[in-house]
Chains A and B, each alone.
Chain A
Amino acid sequence: MDPLRSYLGRLLLEEITPVVMVLTTPLAEAACRKSGLSVVDMLSPFSLFKKIDGDSPPRCSPLPIICPCGRRVTSPYRLQMFKIRMVYASDVRKQDYEVADQRIKPVVSEANESALPDLLSDPPQLEDVLSKPEAELCPLWIKKFNRALMRTLSFSEHETFDHPVACLLVVSSKDNEPISKFVDLFNTNQLPSLLNEGIMDPQILKHYLILHDQQDGPQEIAMNILAEMKSTLGLNDCKLLCINSSTEADGADAENSWLPYIKDFMQDLASNHIIPYMEQKIRVLNQQVATTRKGFRNQIKNLWYTFTSIESQIRVLGDYAFMLRDYELALSNYRLLSTDYKLDKAWKRFAGVQEMSGLCYFMLDQSRKDAEYCMDSAFSTYLRIGSSGKRNATRCGIWWAEMLKTRGQYREASSVYYRVSNEEPSLHSAVLLEQAACCYVLSKPPMLRKYGFHLVLAGNSYYISDQKQHAVRAYRNALFVYKQHPWSYINDHVHFNVGRWYGVLGIFDVAIKHLLEVIACSHQSLTTQSMFLNDFFHFVQSMGKKFDVYKLQLPVINMPSLRVIYEDHRTYASDADVNVSESIWQELEEEMIPSSSIVRTNWLEKSPDLRKYKDSCVCVVGEAVKVRIELRNPLQIPVAVSCISLICQLSTSLDASSAVNSVLTTGAGEDIANTKPAISIFEDDGNNFTVSKLDIVLGGSETKSVQLEVTPKVEGILKLHGIRWTLSDLLVGYQYFEFDTKRKTKKGKKGPRRTLSNTLIVIKGLPKLTGCIDHLPTNAFAGDLRLLKLNLRNQSEYAVKNIKMKLSHPRFVIPGDLSEVDFEFPQCLRKHVQSEISTVSTKRTQGDAKGLLFTFSQDIKIQEGATFSWPIWFHAATPGNFSLYISLYYEMESPSEITYRTLRMHYNIEVFSSLNVSFAIRMCSSRLKEYIVRMDILNRTPSESFILHQLSCNDSKWAISSLPLCDSIRSIETVSANQSVSCFFKIKDLGTNSCKEAENSSCRSDMLFLSREGNSNTEEFDVSQSPITNFHYQERYQQGRLAKGPRDLLDFILISKAVGGNYSKSDPDVQLLSHHVCHCSAIDQSPIWWFMEGPRTVTHDFSKSYCEANIQLVIHNSVQHNISARVVTYDSVPDKSQTVNLQDSNSNQGGWYDVSLENDIKAISTAKGTHYQKQPSESISPFVWCSLSSAQVDLKPDTSTKVPLKVCIFMPGTYNLSNYQLQWKVHSSEVGQVDENQRSGGGQGHPFYVTVLQDA
C-alpha cells in the first residue's frame, strides 16, 4: 500500500505541516466578526491545497538539493497535497496538560448522544462483529479523538515542525496608522514565549495583510495604505484582502464574491512565499550543516539547545525536509541527530528524532524493520524519561500502531495500544483500549477473547471517567464473547455491569433484562449475590410497576420434579401416599376391585364427547387437584416468594369446540411457551375454579417442594398451564409446565396415574372417604402389640356402602372385631374365667403373601358427614423397615359415573430389635414324653429393659413347667439392655386325650414368670384368643416358610413388657410385647424313647458273692407306625471318643454335651474303697451283663414295653450302665411318610448310675 494513501500517511500530511503564525489588530478581528468568523477561521478553509482542485498546486523547488551525504536530488517533484496551519500567536505555546485534556473531553462526550439509540437495540453478535468493515468497527469519533490527543503536544520545545515558518500580520484598513500597527504587532511582548526564549527562530518570514471590509468604505483607502505598506515594509510581502460583511440580500453571488480573493491570497502565500522560503532555508541549513559537521563532535556539549545550536538547526532542516516530502533528506538528518543526542544523553530530543526517523522510513516504505525499531526506541525512550514524556509516548504509540495497522500487523498494533493506554488517564485509556480491542478482531484469525477482555477494560475505564454510555457500549459489544462458553464468572460481571449502567442511564427495562441473566448466579459469593439482587430490586422498583418475567430464574423451578396429583376413583389418605408406585396398589387391590377396563368404558361411553380424552385424567368437582413441584433458591440469600399459584384454564363442556381447539394448540407442545400468551388471560377465574396461593421464604440454597392446588367448581376440561409467583412483592415470574412427550411414555410404564398430562376431565361430585389409623407408631420394638383405631370419615353429601379393606402385611396389622372398639388394652387380652368362644372367623385368617382381604359387614354404611371407627390390631412382627399399605374399597350408594372408589393409606414403620428368643429342646432321657427346654433370651436394645411375663405353648396338649430344682429361675423378672439370659423348662406331652389333665393347674400350657413380690404379676394372657392367635397364625405361616424340615414339635409365645428407657410410658402394662417362636423341634428327636428303670442304690455283701442287679429297659414308641427295636449289650467299656462322636452327630447346638462321670467314679472308688480291693485294671470290666446280650422287641404305635436286664457287679462303686445300644426300624405301610433318616437308626444307652455299697 502506498504509504501516502494510508491513513497514517494522510494523517501526517495533514498534521505535520508548516505553521503560519497570525497576528491581528482588534479592528481586523472585528471586521471578520461581522461575518461571524475569526481571521484564522476565515483563512483556514483555504489553507489546504490539493492537486485535484484544478488550480496550480504549490510546486516544489526545481533546484537541486544537496544532501549532507552529498547525494543530489535533481528532479523537481510536485506535492500532491499541501496544507498550512494557521495559528494565532497567542496559541503558539505549549499547552497545559489539564487544560488540553479538558478540551478533549467534549470529543468523547459528544459521541455519547449519538451512541444512545444504538444502546436500545440488541447487542451485537459474533457474525455482526466479524462482518463489519474495519472503518465501522471503531466509531469514527475515535479518530477525531486521536488527533485531538496528539494536538495537545503542539509547540513542544524539542520538535520544530510546529515552529512557525512564517508570520502573517493582519491590520484593518480602519486602523489608525496601519504601518506602525504592523510594526507594533511584531514588536510587542505578546509574541509567544517560545520565540522570546530563543527556542524558536524569531527571524521568520513576515507577511503583511491589510484587511478591508467593503462596507466600511471605498477600496481606494485600502489601496493607499497598501501602497504605503509596499514602500515601507517591502514590495512582495504586502497584500490587500477585501471582504464584504454585508448580509443584505445582494444574492448569493454578491455575498461570496470576495471568497476567491481569499483563495488567491492563500495560494499566493503558500506557493510564492512559504514554500520558496522553506526551500531556501533547507539549502542554507544544508550547507551550514555540511560545513560545520567536521568540528561538530568536538563542540562543547550543549545542555541547553537554542535555535542557534547546530543540533536545532539540523532538526529544523529535517523537519522542513519532512514537510516538503523529501523524506530521504529528512531521514539522513534525523539519523545524524540521533547519534548526537544519544551521546549527549538528551533523551527527549533523541526520542523525538527517532520517532521522526520511524515516520520517514514508513513514508519511504523502505525498511519496515527499521521503522519499527525507531518507533520502539522512541516509545520506550519517552516512557523512560518519566512523566514529561508520557504524552509523547502516547502520540508515538498511536503513530506506531497506525503504522502497524497499515501493514496488517493488527496484533502488534493492539499491544501497542494497550501499552499506551497504561500511560494515560482513564478516559484516554478507555478510547485506546477500545482501539486495541478492535485490532484483535481484525487480526487473522480474530482473537475474540482478547477483544472481549479489552472491551471490558475499556468499559471499566469509561465508567471511571464518567462516560456511562460508552461504558455500556463497550461491555455490550463484549457480551457475545462470553455467551458461548460457561465462563460464567466473567459473563455475570459483564451482564451485571451492563444492567447496572443501563439502570443508571434510566433505561430500566434493558437494565432488568440484563440483570435477570445474573440474579440466579449460584456460583458467586454471598456478597456478590446480594449486590446483584439489591441492584436488581432497586431497578425493578424504579420501574414503578409490577411486571411479568417469563422463565424468571429465581427461584429455579425443577420441572422434572413436577407431579400432578389428582384423585379419580383412587383417593389417598395423605399426599405422601401418592408417591407409592401404582403397581403396588394395583397388586394389592387386585382381588378387591372390579376389573378396571369395565369401569372405564362404562362411564366414558355415557359421554361420547369426552371420548377423545380417553387418555386424559379425571378429577372430581370440589376436589382439589394438587401439583407438587420443587422450587430451589440458587442463591445463598433468603428469598421471599409469595402468591405461588397455578396458571389454569377450565373450559366447561358447553364450549367443547373451543376446548378442542385449545387442546390442539397445546398439543403442539412448546408453542405455548414460545408464543408466550399474556398470562392475564389465565387470571383466576373465580366462577369455574379456585387456585391456592402460597407464600414461602426460601433460605439460602434451599430447595422446597411446594404443593399447589386448583379446585374445579364445574364440570369441564381443566388445563394446567404453568406456575406463577411474585418475587419479593416486586415482580411476577411465570413459567409454563413442560409436558414432554418423551417423559410421558416413560412415566406411563409406571402407571396411568403418572401420565404427565396437563389436561384433566372434571366430572360431577362424588362421595369421598378420608381416613387414617390413629396412633400408628412410626417405630416400635419387635413384638410390640397394640390396639389401634381406624377412623373413616365421609365428608361428602352421599353415603357409601359395601366397604372392603385389603392389608398388605397381615403379619403386622389385622382388623379386629367391632366389639373390640371399646376394649381396654391390654385387659381385654387377659384370660377370663369363663373364656368366651373365639369369634374369629376363619375367613379372616386366610392371609397370604398378597395380603389380607377383609370385608366389612354388608349393613355397614357410612352416611354423609359420619365418622366410622374400626379396631385394628398392630403387632411389630420382625425387626426392619416396613411399608404398610392399606386400601379401602367402597361403593357409592347413589349411581354416578364412577361406581366405586378406593382409599389408599400408606405407613412406614421401623421396627427395632428387642428380645431375641430362641429355644433348644431335648428329649428327656429319664422320663417318657418329656422334654427339657432351654430358652435363650438376648436383649438387643441399647437401653430398654423388659419384664418377662408369660411363656405359652400354642397347644393345650403341652404342659409347661419349671424344672423341679430350678424354681429360682422362674423369678427372673427383667432382662436389662444387652443382657443375655438362659432359662430351663420342662415340657410334657400330655397327648390329645389328656385334656382333663390340662385342667390341673400344675401343668398348663402357660407359665407365668413370678415376680419377686409374687402378687402383681398374676394376670395371664389368653394366647388362644384374638388377636394373639391370629398373629400367631401369621407368624407360624411366615416362619414355616423358612423352616426346612417337617419335624416341628411346638410353638412358643413369650409375652413381655417394656420397662425403663425412653420408650416406655408411665404405665408398663401398656407396652406389651409378644414374641412368637414357631416350629421348634427337639435336637435329637427319635421315634422311640428309652430309659433304664431299676434300683439306684444296692447294698451287697461282696465277701459272699458278686452282686446281681435287676433292671429294666423301658422302650416307648411315639410314632404312628410299628417299630421293631433291638437291644444289644456289651461288656467292654465303650471308647469314650467314639461315644462322643455318636452322640454329637446332631448336637452342635452349644451347651449340650454329656458330662462324663468317669473321673467321678474313680474319685468315689478311691474314697470309699480304700480298704477293699485295689483299682481294677483297665481290661477287666467291673460289671458284666448277664441275662442276654441281645433282645428284639416289636412295638405297636404309642405303646411301651419293658425289657428286663441283669447286671453282675463284682465290687462296690458307682457304675454307669450305659454300655448298651438300641437299634430300631420303623415299619411303615406307606413309603415316604417317614423321613428316610428316621426309618431306622440306633442310639447309645443313656447314662444310668447304680451305686453299690458294701453291706456292713
Chain B
Amino acid sequence: MIVCVAVVGHQNNPLYLQSFTEADDALKLHHVVHCSLDVIDERVNNPKRNAPALNETFLGLLYPTENYKVYGYLTNTKVKFIMVTTDLDVKDADARNFFRKFHAAYVDAVSNPFHVPGKKIASRSFGARVSTIVKSFGSGTTA
C-alpha cells in the first residue's frame, strides 16, 4: 500500500504531500520525504557509471527504512516525485508505471492557467486523480 506521495519543487520546497494512512503520522512522513531528498541529491550528483540513459527519470528505490520503501522520480525540470510504500517487494515496472501516471497528472495540474509555478498545488481534481492512481497501484500489485 502506498502511504504517501509527494511532489517537491526544484528548490526542494514541498509542492504537494498527501498521506494515505489513517494514523496520525503526517510528521513522520514529512520527515521521510524530506530525508529522501538527500538521497535524490546524491543520486543526481553522483550518477552511476553504467546509467542507462541521461534522461532516465525513474530514480528507483531511494532508501529502505524498517517500515517503508521510498521510491523517487525526477522530471526534467528538477521536480521530484516521491512515493512511500509499505509493500516490501515492489516491482520496478509497477513503480515506473505509477510515476508515469503521476507525472501526467502533475503536468495537467500545473498546466492550469491559475496555477502559480513554484506554489503548492491546491487543485482538488489533482488530489482526486492522485488518489485514484494510488488506489490502482495497490490493486495492480495484488492482481
Task: Give the shortest distance, in Å, between A645 (CB) and chain B (any CB).
Answer: 36
- A489 pairs with B38, CB closer than 8 A: no
**A486-B14, A487-B14 known; A447-B38 Cβ under 8 A:** yes
**A453-B35, A489-B27 known; A447-B14 Cβ under 8 A:** no
Q: Digit string of B20-51 for contact with A (CB within 8 Å is 1, else 0)?
A: 00000011001100110110011001000000
- A448 pairs with B34, CB closer than 8 A: no
- B45 pairs with A445, CB closer than 8 A: yes
Task: Give the shortest distance, in Å, between A421 (CB) and chain B (any CB).
Answer: 11
**A449-B37, A450-B38, A485-B11 known; A490-B27 Cβ under 8 A:** yes
Q: Which residues of the partner chain B approach A487 to less than 8 Å between Cβ atoms? A: 13-14, 30, 34
**Option from B12, B17, B35, B38 in Cβ contact (under 8 Å) with A485:** B12
A487 to B30, CA, bound (A): 8
Q: Which residues of the partner chain B approach A447 to less than 8 Å between Cβ atoms? A: 38, 41-42
Q: Which residues of A, 126-176, contact B by the 8 Å Cβ criterion?
A: none
Can you name 8 A-B pairs with beta carbons within 8 Å? A422-B66, A445-B41, A445-B42, A450-B35, A452-B34, A453-B31, A485-B12, A489-B26
Q: Is A94 an interface residue (CB 8 A)?
A: no
Q: Is A1121 an interface residue (CB 8 A)?
A: no
Closest to A446 in B: B38
**A485-B11, A485-B12 known; A490-B42 Cβ under 8 A:** no
**Option from B13, B27, B31, B38 in Cβ contact (under 8 Å) with A486:** B13
Residues of B within 8 A of A (CB): 11-14, 17, 26-27, 30-31, 34-35, 37-38, 41-42, 45, 66
- Besides A486-B13, A487-B13, 20 other CB < 8 A contacts? A422-B66, A445-B41, A445-B42, A447-B41, A447-B42, A448-B38, A449-B34, A449-B35, A453-B35, A482-B34, A485-B12, A485-B13, A485-B14, A486-B14, A487-B30, A489-B17, A489-B26, A489-B27, A490-B30, A490-B34
Secondary structure dominating the interface of A: helix
Q: Which residues of the partner chain A approach B42 to less than 8 Å between Cβ atoms? A: 445, 447
Interface size on A, residues (CB 8 A): 17
Q: Is A493 an interface residue (CB 8 A)?
A: yes
Listed residue (A422, A449, A490, A493) with the most chain B CB atoms within 10 angstroms of its CB? A449
Task: Give the shortest distance, in Å, between A424 (CB) and chain B (any CB).
Answer: 14
A395 to B14, CA, bound (A): 39
A487 to B9, CA, bound (A): 12
Q: Digit string of A472-506 for contact with B (CB within 8 Å is 1, else 0)?
A: 00000000001001110110010000000000000
Q: Is A456 an interface residue (CB 8 A)?
A: yes
Q: Which residues of A, 882-912, contact B by the 8 Å Cβ criterion?
A: none
Q: Which residues of A, 806-830, contact B by the 8 Å Cβ criterion?
A: none
Task: Give the shortest distance, in Å, between B28 (CB) and chain A (any CB).
Answer: 10
Q: Which residues of the partner chain A approach B38 to less than 8 Å between Cβ atoms? A: 440, 447-450
- B14 pairs with A453, CB closer than 8 A: no
A493 to B25, CA, bound (A): 13
Task: Give the shortest distance, in Å, between A1109 (CB) and chain B (any CB).
Answer: 80
Task: Give the shortest distance, in Å, between B41 (CB) and chain A (any CB).
Answer: 8
- B30 pairs with A489, CB closer than 8 A: yes
Closest to A411 in B: B42
Task: Give the shortest distance, in Å, between B127 (CB) and chain A (any CB).
Answer: 16
Task: Give the shortest distance, in Å, between A477 (CB) and chain B (any CB).
Answer: 16
Q: Which residues of the partner chain A approach B34 to less than 8 Å between Cβ atoms? A: 449, 452-453, 482, 487, 490
Secondary structure dominating the interface of B: helix
Q: Which residues of the partner chain A approach B12 to less than 8 Å between Cβ atoms? A: 485
A434 to B37, CA, bound (A): 20
A487 to B41, CA, bound (A): 17
Closest to A482 in B: B34
Q: Which residues of the partner chain A approach B45 to less than 8 Å between Cβ atoms? A: 445
Q: Digit string of A413-438 for contact with B (CB within 8 Å is 1, else 0)?
A: 00000000010000000000000000
A486 to B34, CA, bound (A): 11
Q: Which residues of the partner chain A approach B17 to less than 8 Å between Cβ atoms? A: 489
Task: Give the shortest distance, in Å, between A926 (CB) and chain B (any CB).
Answer: 66
A487 to B33, CA, bound (A): 10
Q: Which residues of A, 843-882, contact B by the 8 Å Cβ criterion?
A: none
A456 to B35, CA, bound (A): 12
**A447-B38, A449-B37, A450-B38 known; A456-B11 Cβ under 8 A:** no
Task: Give the shortest distance, in Å, between A729 (CB) and chain B (any CB).
Answer: 32
Closest to A449 in B: B38
Q: Which residues of the partner chain B approach A493 to less than 8 Å between Cβ atoms? A: 27
Q: Which residues of the partner chain B approach A450 to less than 8 Å between Cβ atoms? A: 35, 38
Listed residue (B30, B31, B37, B66) with the most chain A CB atoms within 10 angstroms of its CB? B31
A440 to B34, CA, bound (A): 14
Listed residue (B11, B27, B35, B45) with the most chain A CB atoms within 10 angstroms of its CB? B35
**Option from B13, B14, B31 in Cβ contact (under 8 Å) with A456:** B31
The 4 A-B residue pairs whose C-beta atoms are closest, nearest first, are: A447-B38, A449-B38, A489-B30, A453-B35
Q: Which residues of the partner chain B approach A482 to less than 8 Å between Cβ atoms? A: 34
Q: Which residues of the partner chain B approach A452 to less than 8 Å between Cβ atoms? A: 34
A456 to B31, CA, bound (A): 9
A453 to B26, CA, bound (A): 14
- A490 pairs with B31, CB closer than 8 A: yes
A493 to B11, CA, bound (A): 22
Task: Give the shortest distance, in Å, between B45 (CB) and chain A (any CB).
Answer: 7
Q: Which residues of the partner chain A approach B11 to less than 8 Å between Cβ atoms? A: 485
Q: Which residues of the partner chain B approach A448 to less than 8 Å between Cβ atoms? A: 38
A1178 to B12, CA, bound (A): 96
A448 to B34, CA, bound (A): 10
Q: Which residues of the partner chain A approach B37 to less than 8 Å between Cβ atoms? A: 449
Q: Which residues of the partner chain B approach A445 to less than 8 Å between Cβ atoms? A: 41-42, 45
Closest to B11 in A: A485
Closest to A524 in B: B26
Task: Give the shortest distance, in Å, between A11 (CB) and chain B (any CB).
Answer: 28
Q: Which residues of the partner chain A approach B31 to less than 8 Å between Cβ atoms? A: 453, 456, 490
Task: Give the shortest distance, in Å, between A419 (CB) and chain B (any CB).
Answer: 9
Q: Which residues of A, 372-424, contact B by the 8 Å Cβ criterion?
A: 422
Closest to B14 in A: A487
A948 to B37, CA, bound (A): 78
A838 to B13, CA, bound (A): 77
Q: Which residues of the partner chain A approach B14 to less than 8 Å between Cβ atoms? A: 485-487
A450 to B34, CA, bound (A): 8
A1199 to B14, CA, bound (A): 91
Q: Which residues of the partner chain B approach A486 to less than 8 Å between Cβ atoms? A: 13-14
Task: Give the shortest distance, in Å, between B88 (CB) and chain A (any CB).
Answer: 17
Listed residue (A448, A456, A487, A493) with the most chain B CB atoms within 10 angstroms of its CB? A487
Task: Give the shortest distance, in Å, between B76 (CB) and chain A (any CB).
Answer: 21
Q: Which residues of the partner chain A approach B30 to less than 8 Å between Cβ atoms? A: 487, 489-490
Closest to B30 in A: A489
Task: Give the shortest distance, in Å, between A457 (CB) and chain B (any CB).
Answer: 8
Q: Which residues of A, 1182-1211, contact B by the 8 Å Cβ criterion?
A: none
A449 to B82, CA, bound (A): 15
Q: Which residues of the partner chain A approach B27 to less than 8 Å between Cβ atoms? A: 489-490, 493
Closest to B33 in A: A487
A454 to B6, CA, bound (A): 21
Task: Give the shortest distance, in Å, between B32 (CB) and chain A (any CB).
Answer: 8
Task: Give the shortest distance, in Å, between A190 (CB) and chain B (any CB).
Answer: 46
Task: Give the shortest distance, in Å, between A474 (CB) and chain B (any CB).
Answer: 14
A452 to B38, CA, bound (A): 11
Listed residue (A422, A440, A486) with the most chain B CB atoms within 10 angstroms of its CB? A486
Task: Give the shortest distance, in Å, between A212 (CB) and chain B (any CB).
Answer: 61
Closest to B29 in A: A489
Closest to B120 in A: A486
Closest to A481 in B: B34
A466 to B34, CA, bound (A): 27
A448 to B42, CA, bound (A): 12
A440 to B63, CA, bound (A): 15
Closest to B15 in A: A486
Task: Give the shortest distance, in Å, between B35 (CB) and chain A (any CB).
Answer: 5
Task: Give the shortest distance, in Å, between B97 (CB) and chain A (any CB).
Answer: 28
Task: Give the shortest distance, in Å, between B118 (CB) and chain A (any CB).
Answer: 11
A414 to B128, CA, bound (A): 39
Q: Which residues of A, 488-535, contact B by the 8 Å Cβ criterion?
A: 489-490, 493
Q: Which residues of the partner chain B approach A490 to less than 8 Å between Cβ atoms? A: 27, 30-31, 34
